């Protein structure tokens, strides 16, 4: 789980800080790197290896490992730790019309470019029974059977995206249910025309997101990892 990585990161931050305090010039990269490496125990090797690499280049030793790399690494790790608790996940699916129209890359890129993190993805053809489970809250609606026929008519790209506010903002990226009412700039506004072929599904709340992720994915299919870009996507000044 990512919290474990953040705990490791936190330990390393503390090790880095104490190593840097005991080092008068804050420039002895080797001691600091050793402290960090011990604390990470191989789980998050990036900072330790950066320090070691910097240390091996004598010309840059004082500058790169001490003055530049270390404070930046400490700063970023602290940011990540502070942020870990605020992450949420949502279920996003590209329906058979979006897949058949070749819109997978276009849609994924909008979530990616925003700064959200993909943590699960698979292409499946759901059965009608499965589609009925997914849309169970709409079973009284006149279009329910047709909707479930449609969802089970071909491949669906099922995904889980993670990020701060991703449930609500994911719905903003998607746009209104009826593409005639979706704003330009949204996925449905730009890429769809009618409500029956609105190309994408997104969870509409915290509970729904939890239920839908549980319906479409096994826990083992959700990948916990730290994305390098996160330290640039998140931060408080």
Partner that binds at residue 196, options Mg ion, ligand DAT, none, CB closer than 5 to 8 Å by kind: ligand DAT
Cα separation, 50 vs 134, whole angstroms: 46
CA atoms within 13 A on the CB side of 130: 15
Q: Which residues contact 215 (CB under 8 A, 6 or more apart)?
A: 130, 133, 134
Contacts to ligand DAT from residues 161-180, by CB under 6 A: 177
- Of 7-15, 53-61, 119-127, 190-198: span binding ligand DAT (CB under 6 A): 190-198
Q: Which residues contact 220 (CB under 8 A, 6 or more apart)?
A: none
- Of 10-18, 38-46, 202-210, 221-229: span binding Mg ion (CB under 5 A): 202-210
- 162 Ramachandran zone, left/alpha/beta (phi>0; psi -120 to 50): beta
- Of 35-43, 65-73, 161-169, 194-202: span binding ligand DAT (CB under 6 A): 194-202
Minimum distance, C-beta of residue 135 to Mg ion, in the bound complex (Å) = 8
Could you say which of 67, 195, 227, 233 contacts ligand DAT (CB under 6 A)? 195
Q: Select 12 or 187, whichever has its Cβ closest to ligand DAT.
A: 187
Does position 143 interact with ligand DAT (CB under 6 A)? The reply is yes
Q: Does 134 participate in catalysis according to the annotation?
A: no
Sign of CA dihedral 62, 68, 71, 77: negative
Cα torsion 221, 222, 228, 231 to 10°: value is 180
Cα torsion 13, 18, 22, 28 to 10°: value is -10
Minimum distance, C-beta of residue 87 to ligand DAT, in the bound complex (Å) = 22
Q: Select 68 or 138, whichever has its Cβ closest to Mg ion.
A: 138
Does position 183 interact with ligand DAT (CB under 6 A)? The reply is no
Catalytic residue among 83, 134, 136, 201: 201
Sign of CA dihedral 20, 26, 30, 31: negative
Question: Nearest-5° angle of CA 105, CA 109, CA 94?
Answer: 55
Minimum distance, C-beta of residue 158 to ligand DAT, in the bound complex (Å) = 15
Give the binding site for Mg ion (CB under 5 A): 204
Q: What are the catalytic residues?
A: 201
Give the binding site for ligand DAT (CB under 6 A): 138, 143, 147, 177, 195-196, 198, 201, 204
């Amino acid at each position: 789980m990512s919290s474990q990585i953040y705990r490791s990161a936190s330990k390393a931050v503390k090790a880095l800080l104490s190593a840097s305090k005991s080092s008068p010039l804050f420039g002895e990269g080797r001691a600091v790197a050793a402290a960090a490496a011990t604390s990470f125990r191989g789980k998050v090797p990036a900072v330790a290896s950066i320090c070691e690499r910097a240390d091996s280049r004598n010309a840059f030793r004082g500058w790169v490992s001490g003055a530049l790399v270390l404070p930046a690494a400490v700063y970023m790790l602290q940011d990540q730790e502070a942020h870990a608790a605020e992450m949420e996940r949502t279920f996003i699916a590209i329906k058979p019309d979006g897949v058949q129209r070749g819109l997978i890359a276009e849609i994924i890129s909008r979530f990616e470019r925003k700064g959200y993190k993909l943590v699960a993805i698979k292409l499946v053809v759901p059965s009608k029974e499965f589609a009925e489970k997914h849309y169970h809250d709409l079973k009284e609606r006149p279009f329910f059977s047709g909707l479930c026929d449609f969802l089970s008519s071909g491949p669906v790209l099922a995904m889980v995206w993670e990020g701060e506010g991703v449930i609500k903002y994911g719905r903003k990226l998607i746009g209104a249910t009826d593409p005639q009412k979706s704003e330009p700039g949204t996925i449905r506004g730009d890429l769809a025309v009618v409500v029956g072929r609105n190309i994408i599904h997104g969870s509409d709340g915290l509970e729904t997101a939890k239920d839908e992720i549980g319906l479409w994915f096994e826990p083992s299919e959700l990948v916990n990892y730290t994305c390098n870009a996160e330290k640039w996507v998140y931060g408080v000044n």
